[in-house]
Amino acid sequence: MLSQDVFVIKNFENATKFNKSIFMPEHFIRDHPNDMIDVITQDPEVQTFNRTKNDKERISLNEYLKYRNKEGIKDENGHIKFGVNIDIGDWKSQIDELVAKFPDEFLFCSVKDSLQYVRRHVMGMTKPQMYIKVKGSWTGGHEENLRYRAINLNHGPDSSRWSCVGSKDWDKLRVKVMETYKIDIIEKEGLWYADIDFCLSNQIPVTTFNQNQGELVMLGPGCEHWVRGFGKAVQTAWNFGTFDKWQVSESFKRMDINTKINFRVSIHESNI
């Protein structure tokens, strides 16, 4: 299982008797209405390597959920709003449920996670984050931080379409996009959404699948991926590191790339 670029565990929530109710918007409104979250404005139809509109604002969770419940969510330009990178590290009920239902091998900052040795929490890595989607919400193509493994659990109700290019084929994608569009997918991470036909016509192996409610996706080291939501959904995600050659070598490769592109990391001030 851990030798795969990506795999899906079906019926994870049902099999573990996961308490999905505390990951639903109705619960957030009651317990965390004033938490401030990042919301990005997107064109829900985008499918291009060219830089796209990706404006970000910061609003309360309550305000975003009111928007999400409206009948017409598109603005005058046909754009939508996507609630991203919601820090739930201090949401005790949700953290307790995740810790109770996941084995240490897949859990954030567990005794089997190499990230347990990081001295400060790193946003998006060492604590779970949540994504609240509307129809058409998309996450642009990217690798995980330092190519660490990742977990993504879809609480539903709707599904998402994933597209993935594994670590051994990632460089083919980067080179072809550079040749065709004069764009570096590393420097423009998160700002593009690939047409599958581009990958197929250039003999770049690509995996596509739907992640349904209750299903868990696990990404291997260095897996390039992009995701689009088919409707309303809440998803929880985090990174973890295994103590194996593949994970370590991919992390060092990405560190070298980050140095070359002068990448800067934001670090949360809370101590682990």
Q: Above 50 in pLDDT, residue 154?
A: yes
- Domains of the chain, each with CATH number or no CATH: 6-260 (2.60.120.650)
Residue 271 pLDDT: 34
3-state secondary structure of 211: strand
- Identify the band that residue 52 occupies on the pLDDT scale cut at 50, 70 and 90: low
Judge contact between 24 and 155, C-beta under 8 A.
yes
Q: CB under 8 Å to 153, separation ≥6 — which residues?
A: 12, 13, 215, 216, 217, 235, 236, 237
Mean pLDDT of the chain, nearest integer? 91
Q: Does 2 score more than 70 pLDDT?
A: yes
Within a 10 A sphere around the Cβ of 25, how many other Cβ atoms?
17
CA 193/CA 45 separation, integer angstroms? 10
- Nearest Cα residue to 40 out of 93, 95, 83, 88: 83
Is the pLDDT at 162 greater than 70, yes or no? yes
Confidence class for position 134, pLDDT limits 50, 70, 90: very high
Question: Helix, strand, coil proportions of the chain in percent (round to 5)?
Answer: 30, 25, 45
Question: What percentage of residues in the chain have a pLDDT greater than 90?
Answer: 76
The gap from C-alpha 91 to its chain's centroid, in whole angstroms, comes to 19
Global pTM reads 0.91
User: Percent of the chain scored above 70 by pLDDT?
Assistant: 95
Give the mean pLDDT of 200-213. 97
Mean pLDDT of 116-129: 84
| Angle, CA 110 vertex, CA 108 and CA 116 arms, to 5° | 85
Cβ atoms within 10 Å, residue 106? 19
In eight-state DSSP terms, residue 252 is H
In the three-class reduction of DSSP (H, G, I as helix; E, B as strand; rest coil), residue 213 is classed as coil
Q: What is the pLDDT of residue 272?
A: 31
> How many degrees, rounded to 5, is the angle at CA 267 between CA 266 and CA 269?
140
121: pLDDT confidence band, cut at 50, 70 and 90? confident
* pLDDT higher than 90, residue 49: no
State mean pLDDT over 168-196. 93
Per-residue pLDDT, averaged over 150-172, amounts to 97
Q: What is the pLDDT of residues 213-272, one digit of tens each?
A: 999 999 999 999 999 999 999 999 999 999 999 999 999 999 999 898 887 655 443 333
Residue-level pLDDT at 1: 66
Structure tokens at 82: 């996507």
| Cα separation values, 12 from 43, 63, 83, 215, Å | 31, 31, 24, 5
Residue, of 133 and 55, whose pLDDT is higher: 133
CA 248 to chain centre: 21
Radius of gyration of the chain (CA): 18
Q: What is the pLDDT of residues 11-47, one digit of tens each?
A: 999 999 999 999 999 899 899 999 999 999 999 988 8
Cα 176 from Cα 184, distance rounded (Å): 10
What is the pLDDT, as a whole number, of residue 269? 39
- pLDDT greater at residue 101 or residue 119: 101
In this predicted structure, what is the pLDDT of residue 265? Answer: 58
